[in-house]
Amino acid sequence: MRTLSGRMPRRQARVAPSEHEPSGPLLRVEHVRLGYWTARQFTVAVEDVSFDVEAGERIIVIGPSGCGKSTLLKAIAGFIEPAGGLIQMAGRTSLAPGPDRAVVFQEFDQLFPWRSVLSNVAYPLRVNGHRRRAAIAKARQYLELTNLAHAADRYPHQLSGGMKQRVAIARALALDPTLLLMDEPFGSLDAITRQRLQTELNRIVEQTRVTLLFVTHSIEEALVLGDRIVVLGDAPSRVIATVDIRGLGGPETVEYSQMRGRLRELLAVDKEEVEEIGGLE
C-alpha cells in the first residue's frame, strides 16, 4: 500500500480544465487517483485510472475484491473527491452527488423502510420537482418496467432481496439519469436470482437506452451485461485492460469462452487465485 502523508490531496481535484466539450464522451475519467484517510495516513486505493464512457454505452468495471472499484464509482457519483486526476461528466468537473448519476447500491437496505415501494420510487421524483400525481404515475410506470407493479403498496421489509434490488433499479431509472451507476447490485443475491436480474437488467437497459456503469467482480456478469469492460488490477489499482465485447456470441460460442479465459488471465495477473475470481460464476 502506498501512503501519502501530510499533504491534503483534496485540492488537486479542482485542478481541471474547464473547456466544455459537448461532443466529447459523456463521462471522462482521467488519471484518477483515489484513497481514504486512516488515522494519520492516506491509503491509496486507486492509483491511476482512465477511461471514457460514451452516451448509450454499457461499461463494466471489473476487478478483484478491494481494488477500489466501488471507491471509483463513489467518486463518479460525487461522494468522494479524487485525490488526483479528473472526473468530467458531460463537461462538468465539480461533481456533487445528484440524480443525473443515480446509484443502485449493493446493500438491500438502500430502500427507505418507512416508505412503501411506490413511495420509494415516487419520493425522489417529488424531491426533483415532480408534482405528486406526475411522480406517482411515473413511479408506477417504472415499477411496471421492473415487474413490480403488484408490490407497489408493500413495505421494503416485506420484499425479497431480489425485489428490493429491482425497486432500487426502478427508483434510479425513474430519475432519468444521464448515467446509471450500479455498485455490485446483484452481489448479495443467490445465483438463480442474480441470473434472472441480469437478464431483466439487459432488457430494461435496452428499453430505456440508459448509459450504464456497472461495477462487479464477476467475469460472467461482465460478459452478460457489458459493451466494454474496464479491467482493474489489485489495489492500488490501474487499468490493466479495456476490452470491447460488443458482438460477442453467447456463452456457447468459442469467442465467448476465449474472452472469458482472457479476462480470467488478466484478473489473475496480480493474484494467483484464479479460483476466487472465476469461481463466483
List residues binding another protein (CB under 8 A): 77, 79, 97-99, 101-103, 105, 107, 109-110, 112-114, 123-124, 127-128, 155-158, 171, 175
Shortest Å, Cβ 105 to another protein = 6
* DSSP count for the chain of H helices, then E strands: 8, 10
Choice between 100 and 234, CB closer to another protein: 100
Chain centroid offset of residue 241 CA:
18
Shortest Å, Cβ 49 to another protein = 21
The x, y and z cell numbers of residue 72, run together, are 471509483
Shortest Å, Cβ 231 to another protein = 26
Helices (H), the chain: 69-77, 117-127, 132-145, 161-174, 191-208, 219-225, 254-267, 274-278
Shortest Å, Cβ 126 to another protein = 10
Choice between 128 and 199, CB closer to another protein: 128
Calpha distance 58→60 (Å, rounded):
7
Choice between 119 and 237, CB closer to another protein: 119
Shortest Å, Cβ 97 to another protein = 4
Choice between 70 and 237, CB closer to another protein: 70
The residue type found at 45 is A
Shortest Å, Cβ 128 to another protein = 6
Choice between 112 and 256, CB closer to another protein: 112
Choice between 42 and 155, CB closer to another protein: 155
The x, y and z cell numbers of residue 242, run together, are 479495456
Nearest Cα to Cα of residue 53 among 260, 244, 217, 199: 244
Gyration radius (Cα) of the chain, Å: 19
Peptide bond into 236 cis (omega under 30): yes
Residues in the chain: 281
